[in-house]
């Protein structure tokens, strides 16, 4: 097989801002756009393009904001932000209240990482379905690289994030996010039929088996995976 094709498998996503603490829990879920499928020019008739169809998606930024992050002389990571007041109101409550809850810069090994949490999580009943987060297209960033990663989400509900790593630690990095442009892109390992769903009781209860697990157990997602999987409902999708 040269070109992988499959009947699109059902995948749903939830948007849950209530899982956050502090001011971020008050963000209306309507602030966060639906996940959009990337355009595939199927009329070209190329089998490689057809194989990529229904695998590439974008999460659009809910904010128009510039993030700057850097390494202090003390060795600590630091960050700042400036949002577009033509898009966002500069009063209370405002992005001043919620961005510190969603974003942080931290030392990650020998590097400096800037991370913005997102309220999206993927759910499927299809075995061995994975997603890779990849660099968003069409935005500007300086002196940093997007942090890509992949995980199988069939039995593991994990909320997504947009993360960047500082390149030259002698100077700051800047990420320019804009409403209507991607803040993270997704690549699935198979063709999917993606749709939004309101979080159900089944999803909520199963998510509770793993919420914040890394804070309490080193390597807990590996050591406890079989126990957690054994408690998975047969069906999570509606």
What's CA 180's distance to the chain center, in Å?
16
Q: Report if residue 216 sits inside a domain.
A: no
Q: How does the average pLDDT of the chain come out, rounded?
A: 94
Check whether 83 has a pLDDT greater than 70: yes
Q: Report if residue 197 sits inside a domain.
A: yes
Query: How far is the C-alpha of 90 from the C-alpha of 119, rounded, in Å?
Result: 23
pLDDT at position 154, please? 97
Check whether 220 has a pLDDT greater than 70: no
Q: Report if residue 166 sits inside a domain.
A: yes
- Could you tell me the pTM of the whole model? 0.94
Mean pLDDT for 8-23 is 94
pLDDT digits (tens, 9 = 90+) for 64-81: 999 999 999 999 999 999
Q: How many domains does the chain have?
A: 1
Q: Report if residue 237 sits inside a domain.
A: no
Calculate what percentage of the chain has a pLDDT beyond 90: 82
* Structure tokens belonging to residue 208: 């509770």
For 130, residues 6+ apart whose C-beta sits below 8 A from its C-beta are 150, 151, 152, 153, 188, 189
Check whether 13 has a pLDDT greater than 80: yes
Mean pLDDT for 175-190 is 97
Query: How far is the C-alpha of 205 from the C-alpha of 196, rounded, in Å?
Result: 18
State the pLDDT confidence band at 94, using cuts at 50, 70 and 90.
confident
Q: Report if residue 49 sits inside a domain.
A: yes
pLDDT digits (tens, 9 = 90+) for 95-134: 999 999 999 999 988 999 999 999 999 999 999 999 999 9
Q: Report if residue 212 sits inside a domain.
A: no
Beta strands per DSSP E along 56-206:
56-60, 65-71, 77-83, 103-108, 111-124, 130-134, 140-142, 144-146, 149-152, 159-166, 173-177, 182-188, 192-196
Name residue, tokens 């793993």. 210
Q: Which domain holds residue 43?
A: 9-201
Check whether 164 has a pLDDT greater than 80: yes
Q: Report if residue 100 sits inside a domain.
A: yes
Check whether 170 has a pLDDT greater than 90: yes
Q: Report if residue 221 sits inside a domain.
A: no
State the pLDDT confidence band at 42, using cuts at 50, 70 and 90.
confident
């Amino acid at each position: 097989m040269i070109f992988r094709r499959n009947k699109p498998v059902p995948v749903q996503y939830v948007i849950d801002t209530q899982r956050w603490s502090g001011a971020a829990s008050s963000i209306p879920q309507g602030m966060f756009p639906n996940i959009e499928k990337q355009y595939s020019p199927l009329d070209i008739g190329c089998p490689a393009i057809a194989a990529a169809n229904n695998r590439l998606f974008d999460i659009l930024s809910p904010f128009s904001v510039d993030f700057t992050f850097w390494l202090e002389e003390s060795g600590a990571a630091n960050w700042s932000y400036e949002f577009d007041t033509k898009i966002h109101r500069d009063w209370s409550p405002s992005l001043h209240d919620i961005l510190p809850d969603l974003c942080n810069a931290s030392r990650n090994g020998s590097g400096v990482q800037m991370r913005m949490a997102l309220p999206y999580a993927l759910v499927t009943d299809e075995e061995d379905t994975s997603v890779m987060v990849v660099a968003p297209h069409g935005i500007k960033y300086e002196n940093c690289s997007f942090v890509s990663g992949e995980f199988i989400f069939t039995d593991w509900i994990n909320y997504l994030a947009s993360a960047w790593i500082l390149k030259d630690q002698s100077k700051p990095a800047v990420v320019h996010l804009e409403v209507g442009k991607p803040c993270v892109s997704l690549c699935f390992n198979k063709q999917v039929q993606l749709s939004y769903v309101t979080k159900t009781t089944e999803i909520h209860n199963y998510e509770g088996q793993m919420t914040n697990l890394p804070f309490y157990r080193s390597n807990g997602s590996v050591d406890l995976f079989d126990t957690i999987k054994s408690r998975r409902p047969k069906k999570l999708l509606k």
